[in-house]
Structure 1
Amino acid sequence: MPAPSPDLGPDARATPGWPEEFAARYRAAGHWRGETIGRALRDRAAAHPDRVALVDGPRRWTYGRLDALVDRMAAGLAALGVARGDRVVVQLPNVAEFFEVTLALLRLGAPPVLAHTDHREAELRSLCSFTEARALVVADAWGGHDFRALAGRVADEVPTLRHVLVAGRPGPHTPLDSVPGDPVRPLTGPEPGDVALLRLSGSTTGAPRLVARTHDDFLHGLRTANEVAGVDHATVHLCALPASGALPLGAPGALGTLYAGGRVVVSPRPGPDTAFPLIARERVTATALTPPLAARWIDAAATTAHDLSSLRLLQVGGAPLDERTARRVSPALGCALQQVYGTAEGLVSATRLDDPVETVVTTQGRPLCADDEIRVVDESGAEVEPGAAGHLLVRGPATVRGHWRAPEHDQLAFTADGFHRTGDLVRRTEGGALVVVGRVRRQINRGGRQFAPEEVENHLLAHPDVYDAVVVGAPDPFLGERVTAHLVPRPGAPLPTPAAVRAFLHERGLAAFKIPERVEAARDMTHTAA
């Protein structure tokens, strides 16, 4: 019989649980230890209350102070009516408040739904509506965009939203810094098998696909990632990529560093102009980047006056790193390279610190856990020959058995015996390392941000002058892919200009990274589909 589904309050069977035989096996092996993320932070604070945990510009928090702030924020959210099992959409940039709010929700047992900062009205409205979110947390402004007005429009359209909380100047909404209350211990917090957080899946087909990670399986992932990356209490991790992403948050990222008792330094932007001074000032030892950013850092390191000698490890993920750039990392930055491949559904694969150079620069490493079961199969589901490319299937103690509220989708996304069909094409080396060679489904990866082209096509078809549309990714040496829209105009109508298309999609609230750079005319779509 399946183990009980993770508890989501009134929606207790929103996502499938692990079969009991597997759950028992993972507990017996020590993968699931009956911890919660909030309890783990409290334990670190009790052991080392005066150790610095979090740095954001001139602001510094010890473990003791961070734990107390998280308690107060959790109490304040509870006073607003946010209860265990409620969902709260969090769209905050790289600021300390992201961690304060996210950790408070984890402690309260109200799963945060982590939105990207480049999501706009269309994505936020969809997320809030689909999750029946109780609250939405945003910054006042970021990257030249006013999120208060956006959040207000979303709140007007989503009836479950009771609160919009704003970090900074609140406008007509509730200021985030007015929320904290007097902590009352113990709060009615989560159990280890409850859902910790909800994150967007990379295997979306246009509608939201959310992955519910439990405290047990997520902490297992942090521990194994810490071990493989050498993260311990002496680690100083620079959170350069957006903190809501899988790699910078928990592979092992910021949460893995806090779990180990190390220090997290928040960088508002990932570029070398911002990050290099922070590395020098805080003596950063580890960070994570996407391939395009890694290339920028390599080029900038040749002329920088900042001392980067403390850096010991650069993780690169989000897309495969080309071999030429991979070989430049260590000579340019003076640190080890670790390639990382992962899915939102839980699998993380990485090169090891003691792997041969050829493995590090040409593969995405091995799964972190010995109990991660890997299959590489052909279209019929049969195992391919060693070294041949095939579809990657995985199950294990950190890989979920289904998406949240998506039973029909899961009939295709998971096999009958619980393997997740990742949608990636890989081959395995003789040493067991994975090499990602492509995608099974149509998907665009622009600078590490993945999305389904069908989503953009559906918006384009709403344009009054567009009869048909196909969106594809075009190879780009910097971003990986750029976005091209092939359009058939309606009879008698002109082809919309690229500027008109971009303005139209912007007005519909689509995130900027999904908006096509190029617009081309097409008589039919037979030659454009990927």
Structure 2
Amino acid sequence: MTPTTAQPTEPAAQSALRQGFTAFPADRAQSYREAGYWADRRLDSLLRDAAAQWPDRTAIADPTETRTFAELDALADRAAAGIAELGIQPGDRVLLQLPNSAEFAVALFGLLRAGAVPVMCLPGHRLAELAHFAEVSEAVALLIADTAGGFDYRTMAAELTAAHPHVRHVLVHGNLPENQEGFLSWTTVSRTGTGPVPNIDPELAGPALLLVSGGTTGAPKLIPRTHQDYVYNCTASATLCELGAEDVYLVALPAAHNFPLACPGLLGALSVGATTVFTADPSPEAAFAAIDAHGVTVTALVPALAKLWAQACDWEPLAPKSLRLLQVGGAKLAAEDARLVRTALTPGLQQVFGMAEGLLNYTRIGDPAEIVETTQGRPLCPADEVRVVDEDGHEVAAGNEGELLVRGPYTINGYFNAEAANERSFTPDGFYRSGDRVRRSQGGYLEVTGRVKDVILRGGENVSALDLEEHLLTHPAVWSAAAVALPDDYLGEKICAAVVFTGTPATLAELHSHLEGRGVASHARPDVLVPMTTLPTTAVGKIDKKAIVAQLTK
């Protein structure tokens, strides 16, 4: 279809957006254009172009719905019109929290086409995280499912809007609560819009969307990805993965994650005319059935799921037969698990080490088995500037460990509305301090060896130890607390809370209930509780987490 467009506007939201956003320096931006990394196109143009080139090809599917590229494009236009009719203007931020489904794609492209900036919340986020995202982004709306995974998002939304009245609209996909002011049916808004598609300011330097960080230091941060950098992110990844129109990509991880969204993910698949299938259940039984039904050829998993899928081939009757490429990232994949995956699932294993802030590293198709099994890949782009430095900021020799620093055409220059975090996380010359410890080979391949930041990598999710400790300390029975990572065969790392209690000790279940009441996401709650009489300290009086881990693992 040829959409009509409204006259361009210059909303106040744009100025607020720019205030919290650190743009690429002009000289670097120009160099990326001249080198061809930036194509100066909006992210939503990927769908428009796909609909023009492959209108009748299946674009998206889930267990209940299938849409062609032309149908998805038309739905995005209608949703954009409905969003605009609510008074949501270009530049306004909208919290997007939907489970894996075809409707996620409709909502994402409807928001992008309306010029709104989606804040990519995960289904597992709860009130503590949502309230933080709403405050930092100054969001005007929230788009949720009614229920998913046994959780009622409507109740959480009511609490959120009561505390944050600037969130004027709650759009619910599914059943609405009774007599709840400000709650609207997403189906009605997105399917009955009659106005023109907003004519968006062609300025591309601002954020297209805001990803969320894993909260490696304190509360999660918002990661502004621009149209240029994210178009490059997904299209260059699709090229590297040799993704083509004949491929079928399965979104098994939460769709709002950078990995299944744009590495190459949904967006990369769409850019080449491939089909994207959504599943909200990544268990081997459900995922293998989806792979068999749709002929899935490519998907992405975290190491814990990859290992479980590989083991499940011994008992599941529908072991995958069509997979040509299995990407594994989010945490380091052990060499023995890599060999298991290549034997049981597909020889086409690809290790991926990246971050929502930008830099992506991939092992390449055709790399020797030793490289695929023992490294986490090398940078996607020739313009990725990578440094591996010691504690004094000096670059280390190849083969030595150090912290990974990076800047490049798809790595951010600052978090959104986070001045203090930016001072800690970026060097004066614009390199992002990843907090990852790596070892770089002469060929540029990276091996992840650990973390500099105090973070627990649980099942592919970064959990801030500091953030969890602050929540634990609000329990009346907790005197002091330390959150540490313990090795786990399934999760990679599990969360251990070492706690000194005052009075009667609380149980793990009681702590979980307390954390749930504070809106802490389920994946960020302790797996293990260890009561202690005192927490060991270092010579300067800080809690000695290494000593705690040594005591618990000896």
- How does the TM-score come out when normalised to structure 1? 0.96
Counterpart check, 1:132 vs 2:138: yes
- 1:10 match: 16
Counterpart check, 1:243 vs 2:259: no
1:40 deviates by 2.0
Counterpart check, 1:217 vs 2:229: yes
Q: Secondary structure at the match of 2:331?
A: coil
1:9 deviates by 4.0
Kindly indicate whether the alpha-carbon contact (under 8 Å) linking 1:350 and 1:368 is maintained by their aligned counterparts in 2.
yes
- Residue 116 of structure 1 aligns with an amino acid whose one-letter code is L
1:59 deviates by 1.3
Counterpart check, 1:529 vs 2:545: yes
**1:62 pairs with one of 68, 88, 92:** 68
1:366 deviates by 0.4
Task: Write out per-residue CA displacement over residues 409-447 of structure 1, whole angstroms, 9 at most, x where no aligned residue.
Answer: 211211111110000000012221000010001101110
- Residue 545 of structure 2 aligns with an amino acid whose one-letter code is A
Counterpart check, 1:176 vs 2:186: yes
Kindly indicate whether the alpha-carbon contact (under 8 Å) linking 1:74 and 1:183 is maintained by their aligned counterparts in 2.
no
- 1:328 match: 340
Query: Which 5+ residue runs of structure 1 have no aligned equivalent?
Result: 1-6
- Residue 354 of structure 1 aligns with an amino acid whose one-letter code is G
- Residue 454 of structure 2 aligns with an amino acid whose one-letter code is R
For the structure 1 residues 86 and 185, does the alpha-carbon distance in structure 2 shift closer, same or farther, using more than 3 Å as the test?
Answer: closer
Counterpart check, 1:282 vs 2:294: yes
- 2:82 match: 76
CA distance in 2, matches of 1:39, 1:495: 57
- 1:506 match: 516
- 2:6 match: none
- 1:53 match: 59
- 1:310 match: 322
**2:115 pairs with one of 109, 115, 131:** 109
Counterpart check, 1:156 vs 2:172: no
Kindly indicate whether the alpha-carbon contact (under 8 Å) linking 1:36 and 1:191 is maintained by their aligned counterparts in 2.
no
1:130 deviates by 1.7
- 1:3 match: none
CA distance in 2, matches of 1:466, 1:186: 52
Query: Which 5+ residue runs of structure 2 have no aligned equivalent?
Result: 1-12, 538-543, 547-554
Kindly indicate whether the alpha-carbon contact (under 8 Å) linking 2:124 and 2:522 is maintained by their aligned counterparts in 1.
yes
1:330 deviates by 2.2
- 1:472 match: 484
1:406 deviates by 1.4
CA distance in 2, matches of 1:484, 1:304: 32
Kindly indicate whether the alpha-carbon contact (under 8 Å) linking 1:374 and 1:394 is maintained by their aligned counterparts in 2.
yes
CA distance in 2, matches of 1:24, 1:424: 29
Counterpart check, 1:391 vs 2:403: yes
1:284 deviates by 0.7
- 2:465 match: 453
After TM superposition, the structure 1 stretch with the greater mean CA deviation from structure 2, 28-37 or 405-414, is 405-414
Give me the identity figure in percent: 43
- Residue 315 of structure 1 aligns with an amino acid whose one-letter code is Q
**Equivalent pairs, count:** 522
- Residue 503 of structure 1 aligns with an amino acid whose one-letter code is S
1:186 deviates by 5.3
CA distance in 2, matches of 1:185, 1:150: 31
- 2:530 match: 520
Task: Write out per-residue CA displacement over residues 99-122 of structure 1, whole angstroms, 9 at most, x where no aligned residue.
Answer: 111111112221100111111111
CA distance in 2, matches of 1:225, 1:110: 25
CA distance in 1, matches of 2:233, 2:532: 46
**1:36 pairs with one of 33, 39, 42:** 42
- 2:446 match: 434
CA distance in 2, matches of 1:91, 1:41: 21
- 2:541 match: none
**1:199 pairs with one of 203, 211, 224:** 211
CA distance in 1, matches of 2:453, 2:216: 10
Q: Secondary structure at the match of 2:161?
A: helix
CA distance in 2, matches of 1:502, 1:406: 29
Kindly indicate whether the alpha-carbon contact (under 8 Å) linking 2:295 and 2:322 is maintained by their aligned counterparts in 1.
yes
Q: Secondary structure at the match of 2:480?
A: strand
1:529 deviates by 2.0
